[in-house]
């Protein structure tokens, strides 16, 4: 008799791609959304993305307006998007619900027409991917395009859930600005002071903060291009190479926040 784990693995591999599910939890229990049903929705349509964040080129997707999949969502709510690799994007609901500018879409991979493999990867961005039309209208950044999505959750905001990452009210304006940028960018992959839900990257304050072992010049270069510090083909950090992805002002503010947090380590 085959070992149980081999049987389970064979069963998982045998499942059709159409069996993929996205777990939606808005506080009333988990509601799974299946690929096939999403593709058949009346509001599904072809969406053109001229400059796709994941593929770095123009793409077209079969997609559903994300707001239509989140009944009861209010502008003051907060959403967390969890990817299969541990990436977690924290996005305010107001950004999803505002249809006057940037618009959020849940792109759904059709198993009959699979998407290309990601550059440098071994699988596509599917089966679910949050894409945007006119993202510049609301300042949507690259970390707000989570792909390989597994779940969407309505939660309290980052400040309420993780108090050890929040600078004191009296902290300088640059630190407060840096904290806002950190939540939108770095917190998707990293934890801070042992708090956070991301599992993709290391903690940025415990045991050591990067400002404690890298000069400001090297740290700026690393954030722009992680491979500039050490060549590592398997590295998952993509960096923020241009002003469009992270302005110099925002980058300086992130460094101010990191430097501040180096003096405010959590005690465990």
Instruction: Say if residue 144 is in the same domain as residue 213.
Output: no
Q: Are residues 108 and 187 both part of a single domain?
A: no
| Residues 113 and 190 both lie in one domain | no
Q: What percent of the chain has pLDDT over 90?
A: 72
pLDDT computed for residue 161 by the predictor:
95
pLDDT-derived band of residue 226, with 50, 70 and 90 as boundaries? confident
What pLDDT score does 15 carry?
Answer: 42
Whole-number pLDDT of residue 236: 62
- What is the percentage of the chain residues whose pLDDT exceeds 70? 88
In the prediction, which pLDDT does 10 show?
Answer: 44
Within a domain: 5: no
Looking at the domain assignment, is residue 169 inside a domain? yes
In-domain check, residue 96:
yes
Indicate the residue among 138, 155, 172 that finishes a domain.
155
**Residue range 47-64: average pLDDT?**
96
Out of 107, 127, 155, pick the residue that ends a domain.
155
Report the domain count for the chain: 2
169 and 241 both lie in a single domain: yes
User: Which helix or strand (DSSP H or E) is residue 62 part of?
Assistant: strand 59-65
Q: For 195-216, write each residue's pLDDT tens digit.
A: 999 888 899 999 999 999 999 9
| Residue 114 confidence (pLDDT) | 95
Note whether 40 and 138 are same-domain residues: yes
The two tokens of residue 65 are 């307006």
Instruction: Give me the half-sphere count of Cα atoms (radius 13 Å) on the Cβ side of residue 196.
Output: 30
Specify the pLDDT at position 60. 98
Query: What pLDDT is recorded for position 232?
Result: 59
Q: Does the predicted model carry a pTM greater than 0.85?
A: no
Which residue, among 214, 206, 246, 241, has the nearest Cα to 230 in the 3D structure? 214
Confidence (pLDDT) at 235: 55
Residue 76 lies in domain: 17-155
CATH of the domain at 230: 2.60.40.420
Determine the Cα–Cα distance for residues 102 and 132; give it in Å rounded to an integer.
6
Q: What local confidence, expressed as pLDDT, does residue 101 receive?
A: 82
Rounded CA-CA distance 256/174 in Å is: 6
In this predicted structure, the answer to whether residue 1 has a pLDDT above a threshold of 50 is no
**How would you classify the pairing of strands 30-34 and 78-83?**
unpaired
Give the pLDDT band (50/70/90) at residue 73: very high
Same structural domain, 141 and 164? no
Q: Is the pLDDT of residue 11 over 70?
A: no
Per-residue confidence (pLDDT) for residue 2, from 0 to 100: 45
Pairwise pLDDT comparison (221 vs 59), residue with the higher score:
59
Looking at residue 139, its pLDDT comes to: 87
* 191 belongs to a structural domain: yes
- CATH code of 65's domain: 3.90.420.10
Report the C-alpha gap between 228 and 242 in whole angstroms. 15
SS3 assignment for 189-233? CCCECCECCCCCCCCCCCCCCHHHCCCHHHHHHHHHCHHHCCCCC
Top-confidence residue, 268 or 39: 39
Report the pLDDT value the prediction gives residue 121, as an integer from 0 to 100.
84
71's tokens: 């009944």
Select from 130, 2, 144 the least CA-distant residue to 63: 130
Q: Decide if pLDDT at 253 tops 70.
A: yes
Question: What pLDDT score does 16 carry?
Answer: 44
Among the candidates 102, 133, 155, a domain finishes at: 155
pLDDT digits (tens, 9 = 90+) for 121-142: 889 999 999 999 999 888 898 8
Average pLDDT, the chain: 88
**170 and 111 within one domain:** no
């Amino acid at each position: 008799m085959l070992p149980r784990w081999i049987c389970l693995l064979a069963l998982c591999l045998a499942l059709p791609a159409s069996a993929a599910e996205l777990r939606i939890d808005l506080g009333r229990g988990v509601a799974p959304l299946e690929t096939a049903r999403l593709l058949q929705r009346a509001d599904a349509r072809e969406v053109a993305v001229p400059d796709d964040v994941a593929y770095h080129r123009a793409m077209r997707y079969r997609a559903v307006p994300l707001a239509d999949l989140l009944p009861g969502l209010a502008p003051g709510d907060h959403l967390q998007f969890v990817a299969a690799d541990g990436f977690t994007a924290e996005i305010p609901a107001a950004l999803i619900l505002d249809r006057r500018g940037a618009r959020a879409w849940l792109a759904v991979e059709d198993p009959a027409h699979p998407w290309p493999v990601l550059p440098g990867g071994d699988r596509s961005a599917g089966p679910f991917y949050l894409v945007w039309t006119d993202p510049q209208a609301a300042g949507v950044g690259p970390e707000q395009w989570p792909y390989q999505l597994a779940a969407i959750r309505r939660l309290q905001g980052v400040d309420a859930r993780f108090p050890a990452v929040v600078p004191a009210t009296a902290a300088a304006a640059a630190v407060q600005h840096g904290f806002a940028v950190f939540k939108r960018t770095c917190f998707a992959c990293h934890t801070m002071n042992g708090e956070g839900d991301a599992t993709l990257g290391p903690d940025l304050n415990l045991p050591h903060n990067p400002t404690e072992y890298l000069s400001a010049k090297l740290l700026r270069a690393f954030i722009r291009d992680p491979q500039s510090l050490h060549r590592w083909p398997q590295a998952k950090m993509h960096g923020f190479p241009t002003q469009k992805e992270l302005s110099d002002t925002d980058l300086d503010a992130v460094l101010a926040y990191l430097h501040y947090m180096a003096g405010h380590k959590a005690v465990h």
